[in-house]
């Protein structure tokens, strides 16, 4: 392999990433899954994503890993007007995108993927940082011991 043909840099991986960036990355990862799910649904294909799980055999007590399908719930639903409404979730919380507005109106399934792409760009640009931070605080409260 010849390194002379590559552009080399002195960049180093940061030691720690701030919380805002971690939260953005988490939502973007989930939005990419939603985009893949919507793309597969529009093409009429079943979308499957696999994950590895450790199971213990009841008889022998032996632990082994097995591959199972990951369950992905879609973040959109059909409204009364036969349009789609896309919600953005952080954990179990639905983000309030504007005051009293919790979803994005989408015309049909064909417009869903470009809409998800726009939301991904907005998250990467930091437009939803305050909503994500509020949802993270709410989620943290649920994990505190009483």
Per-residue pLDDT of the chain (146 residues; tens, 9 = 90+): 677 788 888 888 777 778 888 899 999 999 999 999 999 999 999 989 899 999 898 888 899 999 999 889 999 999 999 999 999 999 888 999 989 999 999 998 889 999 999 999 999 999 999 999 999 888 888 787 76
Provide the residue range defining the domain that includes 33: 18-143
What are the distances in angstroms from CA 63 to CA 51, 56, 59, 70, 106? 16, 4, 11, 20, 46
Task: Please indicate, yes or no, if residue 8 is contained in any of the structural domains.
Answer: no
Question: Alpha-carbon distance 27 to 136, whole Å?
Answer: 12
Task: Please indicate, yes or no, if residue 12 is contained in any of the structural domains.
Answer: no
Structurally, how many domains does the chain consist of?
A: 1
Task: Please indicate, yes or no, if residue 82 is contained in any of the structural domains.
Answer: yes
- The model carries a pTM of 0.78
Task: Please indicate, yes or no, if residue 117 is contained in any of the structural domains.
Answer: yes
Task: Please indicate, yes or no, if residue 4 is contained in any of the structural domains.
Answer: no
């Amino acid at each position: 392999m010849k390194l002379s043909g590559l552009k080399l840099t002195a960049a180093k991986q940061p030691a720690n990433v701030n919380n805002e960036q971690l939260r953005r990355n988490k939502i973007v990862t989930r939005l990419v899954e939603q985009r893949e799910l919507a793309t597969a649904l529009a093409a009429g294909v079943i979308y499957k994503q696999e994950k590895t799980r450790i199971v213990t055999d009841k008889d022998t007590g032996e632990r082994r890993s097995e591959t199972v399908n990951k369950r992905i719930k879609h973040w959109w639903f059909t409204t009364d007007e036969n349009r789609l409404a896309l919600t953005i979730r952080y954990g179990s919380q639905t983000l309030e995108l504007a005051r009293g507005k919790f979803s994005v109106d989408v015309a049909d399934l064909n417009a869903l993927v470009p809409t998800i792409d726009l939301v991904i760009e907005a998250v990467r640009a930091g437009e939803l940082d305050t909503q994500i931070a509020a949802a993270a605080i709410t989620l943290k409260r649920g994990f505190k011991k009483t």
